[in-house]
Chains A and B, each alone.
Chain A
Amino acid sequence: MSSSEQELQIHPIVQESVVHNAKTLSNFHSLTASLFGVTAGILGLESYAGFLLYLVLSVITTLLFYVIQVAPASLAEKKPLFDTTRFFKGALDFWTGGLFSGLSGFVLTWTLFYGLVRV
Chain B
Amino acid sequence: MGFPARLVTLAGLVLLAHAGYSAQEHAALSSTLVNLQLSAKTLPLDISIETIVATLLVSLGLIWGSPQLRPIQWHVWAGKIEREGIAGSASQGKEAEKNFQGNPFNALEFRSGFVDIRKQRRDFADWAKSGK
Contact = CB atoms under 8 A, between A and B. Distances in A.
For chain A, the bracket of interface size reads 35 or more
Given A44-B43, A57-B55, A117-B23, A11 B66 contact: no
B55 A36 contact: yes
Interface in A61-119: 61, 64-65, 68-70, 73, 77, 86-89, 113, 116-118
A14 B63 contact: no
B72 interface: yes
B51 A42 contact: yes
Query: What are the 6 closest A-B residue pairs judged by CB atoms, nearest first?
Result: A17-B70, A12-B74, A87-B69, A39-B55, A61-B59, A17-B72
Interface of B: 16, 19-20, 23-24, 27, 40-41, 43, 47-48, 51-52, 54-56, 58-60, 62-64, 66-77, 99
20 contacts: A11-B74, A12-B74, A13-B74, A14-B77, A17-B69, A21-B69, A35-B55, A35-B58, A38-B20, A42-B47, A44-B43, A60-B56, A68-B60, A68-B63, A69-B66, A89-B72, A113-B20, A116-B20, A116-B24, A117-B23
Interface of A: 11-14, 16-18, 20-21, 24, 27-28, 31-32, 35-36, 38-39, 42-44, 57, 60-61, 64-65, 68-70, 73, 77, 86-89, 113, 116-118
